[in-house]
């Protein structure tokens, strides 16, 4: 993505955020010491949690909106505090006297204290107004104008974090299809590894000025720690190194999941895919290409469908979806050994959740040759109605990847290394997820079958 476009998008988002907090003011929150440790042990951690208090506590909340949270450290004297920015996304009555709020995307910021924020506000008037609001136990809603000045003040040191969090507010920023595809590919890789987006990474590297989809999955990002000289780059995949925009490592029992994001990835040009999932443990490789579905309603208004009309780009991608002939022997079982799949996604969505279906390359080729793919005027199209329910859901694909039931055989996966040297530059974003045994050699433990 052009850096000028990135700067323009960020500026637009920030300006929208300022207008938004003037309508739905910021909430200050104060949790008990040790609350961050408790969140670490919870199922979704800092990504999503709920709190129940009396109706009165939340009566002035206008949601969803930004929040600034303080968590004191557990020290006997002179306790310091950690500060976070997040979103209070929803409020609901759960009992006669209690309501529940949902907090999402809580991220650490560099703020050392409330006083440190007060002194950088633009005038004594705002400083006094802010200090008057600090006498609270759990929560405090700021005034509209004070909310705007607080966001501006925080942005002096933590603007990127604020923008990452704020991008989860509804309608604040339009998510491009390519950006959404990369984000969804990362979620698919994590789910196939048995993780949710609430799981924290052991390590994250994001290239400077990168719009890598990994930024929204991390609570701690190591800025500017680029992969250029990283000795742990995927073996035999050296030519993708210069395209890498981010890397994250997740651990689960005795295994690791390494996710790379890359712009203009050469592997996409070579193989015609957006996501490559390599499971070293079971030896299978699965590759996924994303396509967007558009809504279609017939002129009479009697039926509607979501469709994709094949074009020259699809033909080019399919022509690239070929692996070299493998002459060796295979001992491991595969229900479907062809690694190529297509994920068709409804274009309408909130930028985070889109309905979709998945079919194999073989299924797609057969569908395109069948009468079911012909529209009313004879045009070829892929649609929900044409498939009549005969497709994979997200959870189906994830289960098949995790079990090793689909994708290349182990020997074929190893043979793929030999062809990477022929890769040329591509045109789209790529996510490469690499699952392998942990380098510390810890013993294998029982796996949780839940996704």
User: Are 68 and 154 in contact, with CB atoms under 8 Å apart?
Assistant: yes
- pLDDT tens across 267-322, in order? 555 566 777 787 878 888 888 888 888 888 876 666 788 899 998 889 988 888 88
Lowest-pLDDT range, 13-22, 235-244, 259-268, 409-418? 235-244
Q: How far apart are CA 45 and CA 64, in angstroms?
A: 19
pLDDT > 70: percent of the chain: 72
Can you say how many angstroms the Cα of residue 184 is from the centroid of all Cα atoms in its chain? 6
At residue 88, the pLDDT reads 94
Lowest-pLDDT range, 29-43, 232-246, 367-381? 232-246
* Residue given tokens 């190893």 in the structure block: 414
At residue 359, the pLDDT reads 95
Q: How far apart are CA 446 and CA 268, in angstroms?
A: 35
pLDDT category of residue 13 using cuts at 50, 70 and 90: confident
pLDDT category of residue 9 using cuts at 50, 70 and 90: low
Q: Please give the helix or strand (H or E) that residue 20 lies within, else none.
A: helix 3-23
Structure tokens, 176: 């491009």
Helix, strand, coil % (nearest 5) of the chain?
35, 25, 40
Average pLDDT, the chain: 78
At residue 220, the pLDDT reads 37
Q: How far apart are CA 333 and CA 418, in angstroms?
A: 23
- Asked if pLDDT for residue 5 goes beyond 80, the answer is no
User: Are 58 and 91 in contact, with CB atoms under 8 Å apart?
Assistant: yes
Strands 255-262 and 244-252: antiparallel
Sheet holding 98-109, edge to edge: 48-54, 98-109, 81-93, 65-72, 27-30, 139-141
Phi, psi values for residue 407, rounded to 5°? 105, 180
- Asked if pLDDT for residue 199 goes beyond 60, the answer is yes
Q: Where are the beta strands (DSSP E) in 143-240?
A: 203-206, 222-223
User: Are 285 and 410 in contact, with CB atoms under 8 Å apart?
Assistant: no
- Asked if pLDDT for residue 334 goes beyond 90, the answer is yes
Spell out the domains of the chain, with CATH numbers in brackets. Answer: 3-166 (2.30.130.30), 177-437 (no CATH)
Q: How far apart are CA 140 and CA 142, in angstroms?
A: 6
- pLDDT tens across 29-82, in order? 999 999 998 988 886 788 888 999 999 999 999 999 999 999 998 765 555 899
Of 72, 112, 436, the residue nearest 258 (C-alpha):
436
Q: How far apart are CA 373 and CA 309, in angstroms?
A: 10
Angle value at C-alpha 343, between 206 and 242, nearest 5 degrees: 30
Angle value at C-alpha 87, between 82 and 90, nearest 5 degrees: 130
At residue 28, the pLDDT reads 97
User: Are 318 and 441 in contact, with CB atoms under 8 Å apart?
Assistant: no
């Amino acid at each position: 993505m052009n850096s000028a476009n990135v700067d323009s998008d960020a500026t637009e988002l920030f300006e929208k955020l300022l207008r938004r907090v003037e309508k739905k003011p910021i909430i200050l929150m104060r949790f008990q010491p040790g609350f961050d440790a408790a969140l670490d042990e919870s199922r979704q951690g800092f990504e999503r949690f709920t709190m129940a208090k009396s109706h009165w506590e939340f009566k002035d909340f206008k949601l969803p909106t930004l929040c600034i949270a303080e968590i004191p450290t557990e020290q006997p004297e002179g306790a310091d505090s950690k500060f976070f920015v997040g979103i209070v996304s929803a409020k609901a009555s759960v009992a006669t006297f209690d309501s529940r709020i949902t907090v999402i995307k809580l991220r650490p910021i560099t703020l050392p204290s409330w006083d440190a924020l007060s002194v950088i506000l633009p005038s004594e008037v705002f400083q006094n107004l802010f200090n008057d609001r600090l006498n609270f136990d759990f929560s405090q809603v700021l005034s509209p104008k004070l909310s705007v000045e607080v966001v501006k003040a925080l942005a002096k040191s933590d603007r990127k974090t604020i923008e990452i969090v704020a991008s989860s507010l509804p309608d604040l920023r339009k998510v491009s299809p390519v950006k959404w595809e990369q984000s969804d590919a990362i979620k698919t890789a994590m789910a196939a590894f048995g993780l949710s987006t609430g799981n924290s990474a052991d390590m994250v590297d994001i290239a400077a000025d990168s719009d890598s989809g990994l930024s929204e999955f991390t609570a701690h990002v190591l800025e500017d720690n680029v992969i250029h000289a990283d000795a742990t780059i995927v073996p035999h995949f050296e030519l993708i190194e210069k395209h890498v925009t981010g890397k994250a490592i997740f651990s689960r029992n005795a295994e690791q999941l390494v996710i790379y994001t890359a712009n203009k990835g050469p592997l996409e040009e070579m193989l015609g895919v957006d996501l490559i999932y390599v499971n070293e443990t079971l030896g299978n490789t699965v590759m996924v290409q994303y396509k967007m579905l558009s809504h279609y309603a017939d002129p009479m208004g009697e039926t509607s469908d979501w469709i994709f009309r094949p074009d020259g780009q699809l033909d080019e991608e399919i022509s690239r979806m070929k692996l070299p002939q493998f002459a060796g022997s295979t001992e491991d079982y595969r229900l479907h050994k062809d690694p190529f799949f297509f994920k068709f996604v409804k274009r309408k969505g909130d930028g985070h959740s889109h309905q979709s279906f998945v079919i194999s390359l073989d299924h797609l080729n057969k569908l395109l040759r069948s009468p079911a793919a012909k529209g009313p005027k004879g045009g070829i199209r892929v649609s929900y109605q044409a498939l009549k329910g005969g497709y994979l859901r997200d959870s189906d694909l994830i289960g098949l990847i995790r079990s090793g039931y689909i994708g290349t055989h182990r020997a074929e996966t190893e043979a793929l290394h030999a062809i990477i040297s022929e890769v040329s530059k591509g045109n789209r974003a790529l996510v490469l997820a690499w699952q392998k045994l942990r380098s510390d050699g810890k013993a294998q433990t029982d796996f949780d079958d839940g996704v």
